[in-house]
Structure 1
Amino acid sequence: MSENVHRLLVAWEALGNPDRWFRPEGYHQGLTLCIIDAIQSTGSHYNSVRKVVGRYREYRGDAAITDGTTELLATFDALGGVEPWAREIGNQRPASTRKGAALKAAVIQQVARNLHDDGVRTTGDLQVRGALEPNNEALRLATKKLWTGVEAQSSGVTWHYALMLAGLPGVKADRMVLRFVSRALNGVEVSPEYAASLVRDAAKLMGVSATDLDHAIWRKESGRPVSVDPEDEQQPVLEESDGREAGNR
């Protein structure tokens, strides 16, 4: 065990009993909601993300839960393009702080189109393409490029988050996770990639899902309760999505 992983394990004792952690459920049946949530999360408060997801669900009704890229792209056509979609469903926010940046709605449409045209149309397709398996590396990287090649997505933060929302274990090394890891390492600044690797290694040693540990850290750093009240007899709450803000990379 590396010294840094050991320090993280000590820090994570403050997160309490993993059996009682709140756990994100994600959108394991709907690629559309994975795409919308992940891309809307950058630089946004979680309530803003929930509102956009909620408007899409209201627009599509019960079908929203299983919508894939075919259905998502059809909503852009039905509403008349990116700007009407942003007014009706999105929030007309730009994808970055760069002057003239495209709307997040435009990024959502382009990511959906890239994935769709390459045959990634459901969460099942994304799970196959995004799996961390040695014999799948080339396909995974090629699929990742379809996402990260779109404006303001090059860091890969939203890509990894979408995989988590689709049900694949992973770590979204946003500013909350970076802050927690840095503090555990006595203030040493770390890259998102290294922070994510430390979280994954620690999760293995703890015998918990990397996604669950990532979510517990986020809740701790954002001032939310990490665990269900010990006096509450209910099981840990499954949250539809953590609606996290990715921050500006």
Structure 2
Amino acid sequence: MSWYRGRLCGFDLETTGIDVEHDRIVTACVVQCGGGHPTQSATWLANPGVEIPEGAAKVHGITTEQAQAEGQPAGQVVEQLVAALSQVVLAGIPIVAMNAAFDLTILDREARRHRVHPLTDTVGDALRVLDPRVLDKQVDPYRRGGRKLEDLCRTYGVRLDGAHTADADALAACRVAWRIGASRPELAALTLPALHSRQVDWAAEQALSLADYFRRTPGKESWADGVRTEWPFIPHQQDGDL
């Protein structure tokens, strides 16, 4: 049976910002779907321990006041997230994450910040990730338009209710991955380990291409230096100001 017909686990975070080294988790969702079994979803609201910038709150709808009043301590949320994802990975289920290197890197840094054993240290080589963004760029590299989740949902005919909420985005990412697998026999034929390995290479190639585009675009030349090629997460280099 092809990977897209099996169980998938969507994972999504909403955060205080886009700096993977310093920003914090605000909301999270882990949803299991497909494989002939009912959908199971778990969501979290964290008190990140820092102010949530107004710009971030406008995206995901969670203010500092709400997070402080209703959120669990961040360390508890991170511990529960790592436990939930570890259980999924060790059961052989792939994690589906749109722009996986962002969410998995944020989770890794939050784990280290709160002295939680990181996901990748727990599951090791068992980790299998499906990134709809990487897959879509590989199978349709010249399509015009955006590549955000909302764009991919339109392209692949997936309904997205409540964009920029972790639960809606996690489930939509799974549905997009399913549609890509169902429509691309060359991907459907690959085993999960092989597809994960291919995405490591594809993501690096896509990042290098983006950096080259920035270097050739007036006003964006400096952006090239911030493009990272690592996937599905950026390895932690050294202890610092987390």
Q: In which range does the TM-score fall when normalised by the shorter chain? A: 0.3 to 0.5
- By relative contact order (CA 8 Å, sep 6+), the higher-ranking structure is 1
Q: Which has the higher strand share?
A: 2
| TM-score where L is the length of structure 2 | 0.33
Q: Which has the higher helix share?
A: 1
